[in-house]
Chain A
């Protein structure tokens, strides 16, 4: 009798957990629908509900085009700089044992913990009109706050952790043996990096770059504080959206928002593709051992 009882119990608990599972999935989906999907859909609806013509008019104004250009310029500077820095930091942390290693890791994470507005404020306090470096910057006639350099600095600050965060675990998982093998085969440090290390960490690195780029183009708070938000001069796409909306130019605001949202969707698709590749590779390398 005993096995019968236990079997039916297993069945019951299984049925219950299946029901629970469905319930959880339902709640999660409903939540996503309310929080994410409806707002996103609304943006696209508002951008296009007066027809594609109105949309095209909205995105061909001088201010809009300038905002797009500025956003691209800032990303084009901040992303490569942070990619380079992130790679260096990841290498130092993953390949060396030294005192203050965990401290360094926490410092790299700092931009995640600090509110972007505060980050922007720090830049103003350092380089602004009454900041620490104000007189020196004045003497060489170089403007940081309310100009491109400050916006790049703010963007670089908030996007600093992404690459290092993604690359450190990949480097650690890779280990040092392949690099040592390459060196015994005659490779220089540079050749080891290009031919062995980089191909091993490429997916992690690319993922980090993607996240950096998405954040760089979408950053509002920090950039808003340091830019002064002057239309046609220091206005990025997110700043443009806000101002247009406040000025009741909802068509322009939603058109720009749709463009930003589209960017996010493209990033997500790319990320998904990358994750599939890495997953495939992991399963692949876990095949026969002996």
Chain B
């Protein structure tokens, strides 16, 4: 089922949580709402679910106007950051909750619950209470519970935010796999760009109650639409256009701020036509990649990333003088790309 958000605004006191937000989510896709805390992403999710009502604007689910429809009649699955499992009920009773509310026949409820416990790989744990489960297991129960009633859309609010990083990574991959299997239109809220990139078909970047950009993970990373997206998605060096990195190399960017990704910094050990110089300040091994902090002659420090192979070829050491130039850079407003 498709979701259409049309011109939604929501204010809490003097705080503008959502400012004229419009968005379309196509049927069967998994979309991530990505942004820092306070960007309005959770509020947008809660408005779509009906847990908050918007001040203005409309929500269409499957073409039907649901803006003023009660939460209980929207048939959305909602997964909370802290699981929100019913503590006094067993896993099986938790999963059955929505079905029992809808007065499905007992036989049917039982079968559906078993089917879902299989889906989330918790078959043997049906009689446990939530307190007897690990965080990852609890969130899988929450997911099974929300899917039990075959919701039109599945909404996940920072579902892996309370888990440690290893479990988080496992569940991410598993969620993506589950989405391929179930194919329910889903929106996941996250502040973790890696999570958004890995899980979602499409990413919606939000900031201060507005949507900054909508696109596939590649589009967002390679063609950021705003300075905010550029600096929020992936590491970036932000330099003034007067920096000697540009000047010494004969470049004159028009806009005041210039963004250069760490892997777009070219470094060589002999001049060979490159005029800007820098001193190696710090070398950090990040597993597959190596990050080097370079102090430019005008006092700016920039980060440059290298593959192991590149790094081994360069043989950089602390305090060494190197010659640097940007391979690619970006400045806003677009399309005043300078190189």
Binding site for B on A (CB under 8 A): 177-178, 180-188, 191, 195-196, 199-200, 284-290
Cβ contact of B131, chosen from A184, A200, A287, cutoff 8 A:
A287
Q: A residues within 8 A CB of B133? A: 288
Number of interface residues of B (CB under 8 A): 37
**Do residues A184 and B76 form an inter-chain contact, with CB atoms below 8 A?**
yes
**Do residues B131 and A186 form an inter-chain contact, with CB atoms below 8 A?**
no
Label chain A's interface by main secondary structure: helix
B14: Cβ under 8 A from any A Cβ: no
**Do residues A184 and B134 form an inter-chain contact, with CB atoms below 8 A?**
no
Give Cα A187–Cα B163 distance, bound, in whole angstroms: 28
Return the chain B residue nearest A283 by Cβ.
Answer: B131
Cβ contact of A178, chosen from B51, B87, B101, B136, cutoff 8 A:
B87
**Do residues A184 and B77 form an inter-chain contact, with CB atoms below 8 A?**
yes
B305: Cβ under 8 A from any A Cβ: no
Give Cα A287–Cα B129 distance, bound, in whole angstroms: 11
- Kindly provide the distance from the CB of B138 to the nearest chain A CB, expressed in whole angstroms: 9
A-B contact pairs, 11 of them (CB 8 A): A177-B82, A180-B71, A181-B142, A182-B86, A184-B146, A186-B73, A186-B75, A187-B97, A191-B101, A200-B88, A288-B133
B164: Cβ under 8 A from any A Cβ: yes
Q: B residues within 8 A CB of A285? A: 87, 130-131
**Do residues A187 and B72 form an inter-chain contact, with CB atoms below 8 A?**
yes
- Kindly provide the distance from the CB of B71 to the nearest chain A CB, expressed in whole angstroms: 5
**Do residues B134 and A185 form an inter-chain contact, with CB atoms below 8 A?**
no
Q: B residues within 8 A CB of A186? A: 72-73, 75, 98, 101-102, 149
Give Cα A27–Cα B311 distance, bound, in whole angstroms: 75
Q: Contact mask B106-134 → A, CB, 8 Å, 1/0? A: 00000000000000000000000111111
Q: A residues within 8 A CB of B338? A: none
Q: A184-B51, A184-B76, A185-B97 are in contact. List 18 more A-B contacts (CB 8 A).
A: A177-B82, A177-B84, A178-B87, A180-B71, A181-B78, A181-B85, A184-B71, A184-B72, A186-B149, A188-B72, A191-B101, A195-B97, A284-B129, A285-B131, A286-B131, A288-B132, A288-B133, A289-B135
B167: Cβ under 8 A from any A Cβ: yes
Return the chain B residue nearest A178 by Cβ.
Answer: B84
**Do residues A180 and B51 form an inter-chain contact, with CB atoms below 8 A?**
yes
Q: B residues within 8 A CB of A288? A: 132-134
Give Cα A273–Cα B183 distance, bound, in whole angstroms: 50
Among all A-B residue pairs, the 3 with the closest Cβ atoms: A185-B98, A177-B84, A184-B78
Give Cα A186–Cα B97 distance, bound, in whole angstroms: 9
B49: Cβ under 8 A from any A Cβ: yes
* Residue of A182, A183, A185, A286 with highest tally of chain B CB at under 10 A: A185
Return the chain A residue nearest B142 by Cβ.
Answer: A181
Return the chain B residue nearest A191 by Cβ.
Answer: B101
**Do residues B135 and A184 form an inter-chain contact, with CB atoms below 8 A?**
no
Give Cα A183–Cα B42 distance, bound, in whole angstroms: 17
B221: Cβ under 8 A from any A Cβ: no
Q: B residues within 8 A CB of A184? A: 49-51, 71-72, 74, 76-78, 146
Binding site for A on B (CB under 8 A): 49-51, 71-78, 80, 82, 84-88, 97-98, 101-102, 129-136, 142, 145-146, 149, 163-164, 167
Give Cα A200–Cα B130 distance, bound, in whole angstroms: 13
Return the chain B residue nearest A184 by Cβ.
Answer: B78
Give Cα A196–Cα B93 distance, bound, in whole angstroms: 12
* Residue of B73, B80, B88, B130 with highest tally of chain A CB at under 10 A: B88
Give Cα A183–Cα B98 distance, bound, in whole angstroms: 9
**Do residues A187 and B164 form an inter-chain contact, with CB atoms below 8 A?**
no
Q: B residues within 8 A CB of A177? A: 80, 82, 84
Return the chain B residue nearest A199 by Cβ.
Answer: B88
- Kindly provide the distance from the CB of B169 to the nearest chain A CB, expressed in whole angstroms: 13
- Kindly provide the distance from the CB of B135 to the nearest chain A CB, expressed in whole angstroms: 4
Q: A residues within 8 A CB of B130? A: 285
Q: B residues within 8 A CB of A183? A: 51, 71-72
Give Cα A183–Cα B74 distance, bound, in whole angstroms: 10
**Do residues A284 and B102 form an inter-chain contact, with CB atoms below 8 A?**
no
**Do residues A181 and B84 form an inter-chain contact, with CB atoms below 8 A?**
yes
**Do residues B145 and A185 form an inter-chain contact, with CB atoms below 8 A?**
yes
Q: B residues within 8 A CB of A284? A: 129, 131
Cβ contact of B101, chosen from A180, A185, A286, cutoff 8 A:
A185
- Kindly provide the distance from the CB of A279 to the nearest chain B CB, expressed in whole angstroms: 14
**Do residues B132 and A287 form an inter-chain contact, with CB atoms below 8 A?**
yes
Give Cα A211–Cα B103 distance, bound, in whole angstroms: 38
Return the chain A residue nearest B130 by Cβ.
Answer: A285
Give Cα A215–Cα B84 distance, bound, in whole angstroms: 37
Give Cα A178–Cα B51 distance, bound, in whole angstroms: 13
**Do residues B80 and A180 form an inter-chain contact, with CB atoms below 8 A?**
yes
Q: A residues within 8 A CB of B135? A: 289-290
Give Cα A287–Cα B77 distance, bound, in whole angstroms: 28
Give Cα A27–Cα B203 distance, bound, in whole angstroms: 68
- Kindly provide the distance from the CB of B172 to the nearest chain A CB, expressed in whole angstroms: 15
Give Cα A289–Cα B129 distance, bound, in whole angstroms: 13
